[in-house]
Amino acid sequence: MDKYLSMHRVGDAVDSQTVDESEKIETAAGNQPVDLNPDRRNPWFALLLSLMVPGLGLMYIGRLRMAILYYLLFAGVVTAVTQTRFIVEPVGFYVVLISFLLWYLLIAISSLVIGYRRRNTSLRGYQRWYGYTTFILFIALAQGVTLSMREEYLGYATYRLPGASMQPTIQAGEYILADTWAYKVRGPKRGDVVVFRSPQDPKILYIKRIIAQGGDLVAIRKGKLTINGKEIKETYLKDVAISLDYSLEMAERKIPKDQYFVMGDNRDYSNDSRAWGFLPAGNIHARAVYIWYSVDEYRTIQKKRLAKSIH
């Protein structure tokens, strides 16, 4: 019996030890939760990623489809604005610019908010270094192609004028938007300010005003422009000083068919048709539409010149 009791006590001890260990495990789990999921997502890191590359933070928290949806949504807005030619209006350009900023912030904030809700998540197949690398390269490629082909497929281009040959219409250093589809419907006409490839070097782009077109007779007498024997009132030359000989006098010239005579508004400081001859129609690239950004020599934004039409 003693032997039986001893065995029974041993059994009790074993049972008791098992219960005690179980209680210890439950107590430990209750007092200090054990993180059994090693794939915790940091929402602030997701925000940082989306600020660096829009959508990358959403991919990091497992919402790749949402990132793609955001891109498709923005692409749709840009396409609608460009196809309706709304972008070549000052309001349209700023709508696109503000839409981009809002879209950028929306993606970043979404990454943060959803990141907090999905802090514990299982890694998906694309959430590896090669997945992130592919995403970054694809976005960089898409942006590069869009920017390089925007003139043909979106119908606009932006330029910065380093010189003063078009003052006062366009100041040195100002950024302009040009309509690259402007002459698909109609041809250039007198008074248009155009961006064109230099007849001397097609790699160089110039911006000048069309003064006369094929068949016209153009001359300058005592600083006054005449076309077909009629003096032209050039309101855009207000406050422009003209003193050099080639700005004051030019013998009459006849413009050949499909060619144009162009000059800068700042006549004394412009290299134009007076120096190198006529501009072939095929060299004209776009029509300047408006100034979209302007700062002075102190880098202060010139609010009065923003969205100013070029005519």
User: What is the helix (H) or strand (E) element at residue 254, kind and residue range?
Assistant: strand 250-254
Residue 248 located in a structural domain: yes
Please provide the size of the chain in residues. Answer: 311
Residue 16 located in a structural domain: no
Per-residue pLDDT reduced to its tens digit, 207-260: 999 999 999 999 999 999 999 999 999 989 988 888 899 899 999 999 999 999
Please tell me the total count of domains within the chain: 2
Bridge partners (DSSP) listed for residue 259: 280
Domain match, 49 and 148 both: yes
* Region 125-146 average pLDDT: 89
Q: Which of 208, 247, 270, 294 is catalytic?
A: 208
Q: How far is CA 235 from CA 218, 224, 246, 293, in A?
A: 18, 12, 20, 23
Least trusted range by pLDDT, from 2-11, 99-108, 133-142, 258-267: 2-11
Domain match, 169 and 277 both: yes
Q: Which of 165, 247, 270, 294 is catalytic?
A: 165
Domain match, 200 and 71 both: no
Q: Which of 133, 153, 173 is the last residue of a domain?
A: 153
Q: Is the pLDDT of residue 6 over 60?
A: no
Bridge partners (DSSP) listed for residue 254: 217
Confidence tier at 182 by pLDDT (50, 70, 90): very high
Residue 35 located in a structural domain: no
What integer pLDDT is reported at residue 22 of this predicted model? 38
Domain match, 133 and 182 both: no
Q: Is the pLDDT of residue 79 over 70?
A: yes
Confidence tier at 2 by pLDDT (50, 70, 90): very low
Residue 148 located in a structural domain: yes
Domain match, 61 and 144 both: yes
What integer pLDDT is reported at residue 142 of this predicted model? 85
User: What is the helix (H) or strand (E) element at residue 270, kind and residue range?
Assistant: none
Domain match, 269 and 222 both: yes
Domain around 92: 43-153
Instruction: Name the phi and psi angles at 63, rounded to 5.
Output: -120, 55
Portion of the chain with pLDDT greater than 70, in percent: 87
Confidence tier at 286 by pLDDT (50, 70, 90): very high
What integer pLDDT is reported at residue 261 of this predicted model? 97
Average pLDDT, the chain: 84
Bridge partners (DSSP) listed for residue 194: 208, 287
Confidence tier at 15 by pLDDT (50, 70, 90): very low
Question: Is residue 284 classed exposed, middle or buried when 0-12, 13-18 and 19+ CB atoms within 10 A define those classes?
Answer: buried
Q: Is the pLDDT of residue 283 over 90?
A: yes
Domain match, 200 and 287 both: yes
Domain match, 72 and 177 both: no
User: What is the helix (H) or strand (E) element at residue 147, kind and residue range?
Assistant: helix 129-148
Domain match, 147 and 194 both: no
Active site residue 208: yes
For residues 34 and 31, give the distance between their C-alpha atoms in angstroms, rounded to a whole number: 10
Dmax (CA) for the chain in angstroms is 139
Helix/strand/coil for 208: strand
Single-letter amino acid, residue 95? V
- Number of Cβ within 10 Å of residue 209's Cβ equals 24
Domain match, 73 and 206 both: no
Rounded to an integer, what is the distance from CA 103 to the centroid of its chain? Answer: 13
